[in-house]
């Protein structure tokens, strides 16, 4: 029997509750709440989301698109609770128009992304991925690499994830250079960070790791000028969002053998099957930054908890900051 206070939640993200059942449990144990799961068994494509939103009060969202077209089909929606931190797939003008709140899980994926970034630094410097490919081709070649302590590492964006990367590098005795629009000077002093300009970061460092959010100002923030100004044989890593790095510019500098390589976990279009796949010295991963059991569990738990918080009239733990609504 449907009561007056009955709420319906659509779990759009897939998979959900695999790493730990608790996020599903707290949803299914909530009183007067009906849970509907993504029946397609994959990420929802453009044009598919809207048909699932009729009669839904809350959405546990992945990276699928929530724009005007989708929200205009939602007749009861109160909240989009994002599993993760990226908000570029959510149209806040449309959310404001349709009176839909948004929450996210800013801390939960950070350790997973930071681990991946540091792992890729070592992978690139030591040529681990290259050695793996050569052995599979029956070629025994001892690739000569460099230690982390031999190089200068640049961090573009020193927020939640950038700081975690720096903390992980601290024990390696690395020279860390950083650029941020609001540098945390106390943090920098504690971890021996050298603050530099955007231009200096790319000119000085042997590796630049990108950790900035995607917004209108940051599209192609890393451009052809930055990449060509990097040292010959240097590396770039992007675990933030694809459009932050100009993929055409990256293709150009790799084609001209200016860079030693790159590691990308994010792309302009995902799934990715573009021209960067032709280069042997680039590591391509399928947006796995937060795909660690603990990170995924905390993301799902936070999203489920805040979705219920909003629908039950409680204050959410992690509402999206006011700056996104401007």
Catalytic residue flag (residue 287): yes
Return d(Cα 300, Cα 294) in angstroms, integer: 10
Which of 57, 82, 241, 296 is catalytic? The answer is: 241
**What average pLDDT score do residues 116-135 get?**
97
Q: What domains, with CATH codes, occur in the chain?
A: 7-108+292-325 (3.40.50.720), 110-284 (3.40.50.720)
SS3 of residue 224 by DSSP = helix
Answer yes or no: are the C-beta atoms of 282 and 264 closer than 8 Å: yes
Q: pLDDT tens, 181-230?
A: 999 999 999 999 999 999 999 999 999 999 999 988 999 999 999 999 99
Q: What is the dihedral of CA 225, 230, 231, 233, to 10 degrees?
A: -100
Q: pLDDT tens, 39-67?
A: 999 999 999 999 999 999 999 999 999 99
* Reported confidence tier of residue 110, pLDDT bands at 50, 70, 90: very high
Which residues, 6 or more positions from 260, have their beta carbon under 8 angstroms from its beta carbon? 124, 232, 233, 234, 235, 281
Residue 159 has pLDDT above 70, yes or no: yes
Catalytic residue flag (residue 241): yes
Decide: pTM greater than 0.95. no
Which of 57, 82, 211, 287 is catalytic? The answer is: 287
Residue 326's pLDDT is: 79
Catalytic residue flag (residue 258): no
Residue 1's pLDDT is: 36
Answer yes or no: are the C-beta atoms of 231 and 253 closer than 8 Å: no
Which of 190, 270, 280, 293 is catalytic? The answer is: 270
Residue 136's pLDDT is: 96
């Amino acid at each position: 029997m449907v009561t007056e206070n009955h709420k319906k939640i659509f779990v759009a993200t897939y998979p959900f509750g695999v790493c730990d059942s608790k996020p599903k449990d707290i949803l299914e144990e909530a009183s007067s709440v009906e849970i509907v799961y993504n029946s397609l068994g994959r990420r929802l494509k453009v044009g598919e989301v809207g048909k699932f939103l009729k009669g839904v009060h809350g959405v546990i969202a992945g990276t699928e698109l929530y724009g005007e077209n989708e929200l205009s089909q939602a007749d009861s929606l109160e909240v989009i609770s994002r599993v993760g931190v990226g908000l570029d797939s959510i149209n806040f003008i449309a959310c404001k128009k349709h009176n839909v709140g948004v929450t996210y899980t800013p801390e939960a994926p950070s350790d997973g992304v930071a681990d991946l970034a540091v792992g890729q630094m070592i992978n690139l410097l030591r040529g681990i991925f290259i050695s793996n490919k050569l052995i599979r081709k029956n070629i025994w070649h001892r690739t000569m690499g460099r230690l982390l302590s031999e190089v200068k590492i640049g961090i573009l964006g020193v927020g939640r994830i950038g700081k975690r990367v720096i903390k992980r590098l601290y024990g390696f005795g690395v020279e860390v250079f950083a650029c941020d629009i609001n540098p945390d000077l106390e943090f920098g002093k504690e971890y021996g960070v050298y603050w530099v300009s955007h231009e200096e970061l790319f000119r000085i460092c042997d590796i630049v790791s990108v950790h900035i959010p995607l917004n209108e100002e940051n599209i192609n923030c890393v451009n052809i000028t930055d990449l060509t100004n990097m040292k010959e044989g240097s590396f770039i890593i992007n675990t933030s969002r694809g459009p932050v790095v100009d993929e055409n510019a990256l293709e150009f500098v790799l084609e001209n053998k200016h860079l030693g390589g790159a590691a990308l976990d994010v792309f302009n279009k995902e799934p990715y099957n573009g021209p960067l796949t032709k280069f042997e010295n680039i590591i391509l991963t399928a947006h796995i930054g937060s795909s660690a059991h603990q990170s995924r569990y905390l993301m799902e738990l936070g999203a489920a908890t805040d979705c219920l918080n909003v629908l039950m009239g409680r204050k959410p733990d992690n509402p999206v900051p006011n700056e996104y609504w401007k």
